[in-house]
Structure formats: structure tokens, C-alpha cells
Amino acid sequence: MGCFRILFALTSGLALAPSMAASQEGLPLSAPVPGGVAIVCVGRAPGPAPQVMFEGQRVLVTRAGGAWQAVVGLPLALKPGAHELEVLQGEKTERTIPFRVGAREYDRQYVTLANRRQVEPEPDDLRRIAREQQVLVRAFSTFSDFEPDGLIFDLPSTGRISGGFGSRRFFNNEPRLPHSGLDIAAPEGTPITAPAAGRVIETGDYFFNGLSVVLDHGQGVITMYNHMSRIDVVKGVRVARGETIGMVGKTGRVTGPHLHWSVSLNNARVDPALFLSNETRKQDAAGLQPAALGGAAGPAPVPCEG
């Protein structure tokens, strides 16, 4: 993950699509495309929040606009078309709610790395990567019952937006997984702060990610911070919005100091820019426009019936 020296980028435009951007106050922007967020009404309030599942993962449900809204993370690998949420009664599916996912073609990035092991890891590296992947899978699968500290985030660090979400990456002309976060280029030692209150569920030094912290914000909302020069928190502690968790660095697979910031919903990495306030996005009109909103407009949030 991270920001690299980009030799060539094929861009597809980051203009906001108004019918996709509409969302309830206090919720992330609605962008029902792979790598985006679908806002789906799952019931009228008041009354208990329904339990909702998508592709085997528990989904965040929050009250907004007099209704219960499911805030669904859509994996980058998800196929466009018809999908459905499961609303549970106990352990059984009580009903399903259909929604549609539009198409989104993300940019391409061609990157040259001098360290060949970061493109073709050696056998010992692969064993280490597999162990680390198991740790991160458990972290991203976490679903805690406590309520998030809002779903509008602050930027975790200051700097230039140097890498957008979702880009299809080619390292030394070899295809790799899409970029699963937002890169903020900043001098080494620049503070990294929690974008919302949360609990530290993992810290570590990873082959690709370098020094990293993972925060649990509640209800399946997980954020990760990579390539740090220093970690200032320990596993298990709670952090407040704006509290320093570490410093920007250049550890792991990088070519310069920066922060790679990932946001995950129901174990799907989604575009962090969807969670920023309008005021924050206006600070950098080009770099902070959500990549998931590029291209043609897609389906609007699913309204409540009745």
C-alpha cells in the first residue's frame, strides 16, 4: 500500500455526481459502486435497530431521518448489478432488501520500485506476509457493539493528497491489488491523529505496510494507518478524536514519507474521502474529491417504503 513514484497515470476524472452524493446528514456520502458506500433504509424508527448482513458480514445500522439506515461497505471486487441485504430475526433471515450497485472504473497507476523483494517477495517474506495477513483479516472482521463517534471523519494528518483510492496498480509493470486507501504525503515526523474516537485493536511492523495502527470505531467501522515512523499507542487503549497515535514515516513498501489511511465497513475497504465533511474536501478540491464518485451517476440511496 502507499504512495510511490508514479511513472504514468490514466485518470478518469473525479467530478462529483450529484445524484450519488446525496445522503442523510451525519452519514458518509452515498456512492453505491465497488469501493463505495450504499445507504439503504432497513426500517422505520422508533423501535430496535434491525440486525443486517451483507455477504456474510454484519452491517452498521444507524438512525437517521426518522429511519434505520444500513451503511454498507461495498468491496472493490464486487460486481455491479442487483444485490440484497438480509434482515435477521434471531439467527434466521426475516426478509431481504434489494439494492443496486453501479459500475466504476478507477485510475491506473504504473509504479517503479527499486527493491525487487517488494514486488516478488522471497519464500521467508511470503511466510511472514501470510502471518500478517491473518492478523489483519481478524482486525478488519471486528464488529463491536459500541456506537461510532459519528460517521464524518477528520483528516488524520496534514499534507498533500498524493494517492487516491481504488487505483489499479502495476508495480514494475506487474499487476497488483488496487489501492485500498488514501495517501497523504507529509514530512517524516508529521503527527497522525485519530479521525474519530476509537479503540486500538492492532499495532505492528508489517512487510508491506511498515509500522501500522488499526483502530476500531464501533459497529464494523475500522481504520488503518500505515508506513509510520513511530507508534504512540498500544493495543487495547481507547483514543479520542484528534489524539495523536503516531508519526508519518516511510516504513514498508514506499518510496517516500507518507501516510496510507484505510477505512473499512463490514470488512470492505472503501473510499475514505466519502467520510470527510464538505468543508474538509474543499481544502483540496482535486485531491479530496471521492474517487468512488467519478464517472457517470449511479443509483441513489434506497429510500424507506411507506
Q: Which amino acid is at 133?
A: Q
Q: What angle do CA 269, 271, 275 make, to 5 degrees?
A: 115
For the stretch 88-95, contacts whose Cβ atoms lie closer than 8 Å and that sit 24 or more positions apart, written own/partner, are 88/50, 88/51, 88/52, 88/53
Q: Can you tell me the mean pLDDT for 251-275?
A: 94
In the three-class reduction of DSSP (H, G, I as helix; E, B as strand; rest coil), residue 139 is classed as helix
Residue 180 has φ and ψ, to the nearest 5°, of -100, 20
b/e per residue 252-285 (b: at least 16 CB within 10 A): bbbbebbbbbbbbbbbbbbbbbbbbeeebbeeee
Q: Is the pLDDT of residue 247 over 60?
A: yes
Mean local confidence (pLDDT), 196-225: 97
Predicted TM-score (pTM) of the model is: 0.85
The answer, yes or no, to whether residue 13 has pLDDT greater than 80, is no
Q: What is the mean pLDDT of residues 201-214?
A: 96
Indicate if the pLDDT at residue 301 is higher than 80.
Answer: no
Q: Give the pLDDT of residue 177.
A: 61
Q: What does the pLDDT look like over 36-63, one tens digit per residue?
A: 999 999 998 888 899 999 999 999 999 9
Among 21-35, 55-69, 91-105, where is mean pLDDT lowest?
Answer: 21-35
Q: Write the burial class of residue 5 (CB in 10 Å: 0-12 exposed, 13-18 middle, 19+ buried).
A: exposed
Query: 204 pLDDT exceeds 50?
Result: yes
Q: Comparing 14-18, 141-145, 179-183, which segment has the lowest mean pLDDT?
A: 14-18
Mean pLDDT, rounded, of the chain: 84
Every domain of the chain and the residues it spans: 117-166+180-284
Residues 6+ apart with CB under 8 A from 167: 9, 106, 107, 108, 109, 178, 179, 291
Q: In which band, very low, low, confident or very high, does the pLDDT at 286 lie, cut at 50, 70 and 90?
A: low
Higher pLDDT, 287 or 278: 278
pLDDT at 1: 41
pLDDT tens-place string over residues 111-170: 555 566 566 778 998 999 999 999 999 999 999 999 999 999 999 999 988 888 877 654
Confidence class for position 290, pLDDT limits 50, 70, 90: confident
Which cell numbers in the block locate residue 26? 451525519
What CATH number labels 117-166+180-284? 2.70.70.10
Give the pLDDT of residue 118.
Answer: 60
